Each structure stands twice: as C-alpha cells, then as structure tokens.
Amino acid sequence: MRYAILSDVHGNLEALSVVLAKCNEVGVDAYISLGDIVGYNANPKECLDIMRSLNLICAIKGNHDEYAGSNDNVMEGFNPHARAAVIWTKSQLPPEDRAWLASLPMRQTIKGTMITAVHATLDSPDSWGYIFDVHHAADNFAYQFTPLCFIGHSHVPVAFCKKPITQYSERMIMELEDWEHKIIPEAAFRREESFDINLNAGHKYLLNVGSVGQPRNKDPRASFAIYDSDLKIVTRYCIPYDIAAAQAKIYAAGLPERLATRLDRGI
C-alpha cells in the first residue's frame, strides 16, 4: 500500500494540484490529511472539496480548521494575518463544510496500519505545540505507540528516529537531517526532488512532512510524503508549482499582502 500524507494545504489550490498529480503518477492507494486544509490562501472551498473526494482514510483537525469550524473570531494566539484569513475563509465555506471541519479528531491511530497521525503533538494536541528538536521529539515519543507518527503544523519538515531499547546508547533519539535537506541551492526550486527514509524494524519514527500550501523552511516548493508499507520506505517530495497564480488569487481576494509575498520565499 502507498499512503500519501498531506499537511497544511491551507487553501492553496495550485500547490495541491501538483501534489495530487504526483500521487497519481506514483500510484497512491489512500490519503492521510494531517490538518489545516484551509486558512491563509484563496481557495479553501475548492481544496476542501478535493480533499474530501479522495480515498481519505484519516483526516486530522488543525488549528486553522478548528477556528474555521467554530464561531470564535477572537482566535487568541493568532497573528492578525492568520486571523484575517480565517475570518475570510469562514465566509467562503457553507455550514456543512464548517461542521465537517469541527468534527475532525485531534489525533488518530489508523486502523489496519502502523501509523498515528496528529497535527501538532501527541502529548497535548489541542495546545498546538511545535516539535523542532530532539527534546520536543522525546516528549512525543513517550505517547507514540506505533512505529510511525506523522505530524505537521510547523510547516517545516523534520524527522526523528528512536532506537529500540536493545540498542541503548546515549543518542537514543536522533534527528534524520537528510529529511529536511537544509542546504538548498536556489536553482533546485525549479525542479522536483525527493528524499527517502528506509524504516528499520523495532525503531520508531516521528516525521513532519512539511507543508503543501505554505512552506516555511526557505524552500517554496510544495512538500508532502508517501509511505510505501510494502517496501518500508517513506519518501518526502518537494514539487514546484505556480506560485504567482496562488499569489494573484490572494491579492484578488483582499487577503493580507504578507500571505502572498511569503510564498515565493518559503518563509
């Protein structure tokens, strides 16, 4: 089975379209959404409809999904740009779509797989915390009872591996630096790239798949992952998309300019 894991689409139809084209090319069997289908970009309804039309075996609630599905317009902790985007997003969604977003779980262990899915953290998913380093990963591993856990929320791809107790060492938890691919020449932004993790038996993996619709790792390409359960390989893809078209829609919708300008810088 091949599972596509998508996170933080954020209403970016141009990015979602190229991601799904790659999924069709590779031959994906099922899809997992890690949350924040809406927010920031200008096609929330279209992206929501597309995501719900897929063979979606798991859909997790993100913080933007939560606010878009609620009547809370204060959104404590949100910056003004994010808040403005959610208020606008609410105006674009019918009640049934907002109710669907509100009904999503915060975390889920997917039946028949070795996968746990959560938008933020397993220890307190509704606090919307971030995992950036080994110390934060250690807290998450304490609540992870499956070999694989996929997360989003930070928009920054990062991966951690926890060795089995039989391989005890001072570095029981390690960051897998190739997953993030930190040194990226600007010329690479115009081409597709992929990075593999080969899964070892007895190890646990915590993988942030990055963001489809608003990357923040200084790589503007759409980021997502495909897990091949037969080959025991997880591949992260970086796919170029029509950023200018997505930006033009943001301007036309009257959304904050910052939401457009950050897209081509991946910040």
pLDDT digits (tens, 9 = 90+) for 211-247: 999 999 999 999 999 999 999 999 999 999 999 999 9
pLDDT digits (tens, 9 = 90+) for 144-185: 999 999 999 999 999 999 998 766 666 789 999 889 876 677
For range 25-45, the mean pLDDT: 98
pLDDT digits (tens, 9 = 90+) for 41-72: 999 999 999 999 999 999 999 999 999 999 88
Residue 30's CB is within 10 A of a number of other CB atoms, namely 16
Of the pLDDT bands very low, low, confident and very high (cuts 50, 70, 90), residue 77 is confident
Q: Which region among 9-13, 106-110, 161-165 has the lowest average model confidence (pLDDT)?
A: 161-165
Instruction: Take residue 98 and report the two structure tokens written for it.
Output: 């907002």
**Rounded-to-integer distance, Cα 164 and Cα 194, Å:** 27
pTM: 0.95
Per-residue model confidence (pLDDT) at position 182: 67
Phi, psi of 132 (to 5 degrees): -120, -20
DSSP 193: E
- Give the number of C-alpha atoms closer than 13 A to the C-alpha of residue 112, restricted to the C-beta side: 5
> What mean pLDDT value characterizes the chain?
95
Residue 124's CB is within 10 A of a number of other CB atoms, namely 12
- Where is pLDDT greater, at 73 or 54? 54
| Adjacency order of strands within the sheet including 204-208 | 107-109, 115-118, 148-151, 204-208, 158-162, 173-175
Per-residue model confidence (pLDDT) at position 187: 75
Residue 183's CB is within 10 A of a number of other CB atoms, namely 7
**Rounded-to-integer distance, Cα 38 and Cα 20, Å:** 17
pLDDT at 109 over 90: yes
Per-residue model confidence (pLDDT) at position 178: 85
pLDDT at 190 over 90: no
For range 100-117, the mean pLDDT: 97
Q: Give 131-143 as a DSSP string.
A: --SHHHHHHHHTT
pLDDT at 73 over 90: no
Name the packing angle between helices 13-26 and 243-253 (round to 10°). 150
- Where is pLDDT greater, at 110 or 181? 110
Name the packing angle between helices 80-92 and 44-53 (round to 10°). 70
**Rounded-to-integer distance, Cα 147 and Cα 113, Å:** 10
Per-residue model confidence (pLDDT) at position 74: 81
By C-alpha distance, which of 198, 195, 206 is closest to 232? 198
List of domains in the chain: 2-261 (3.60.21.10)
Are 144 and 204 spatial neighbours (Cβ–Cβ below 8 Å)?
yes
The strand pair at 56-59 and 30-33 is best described as parallel
Per-residue model confidence (pLDDT) at position 169: 60
**Rounded-to-integer distance, Cα 34 and Cα 4, Å:** 11
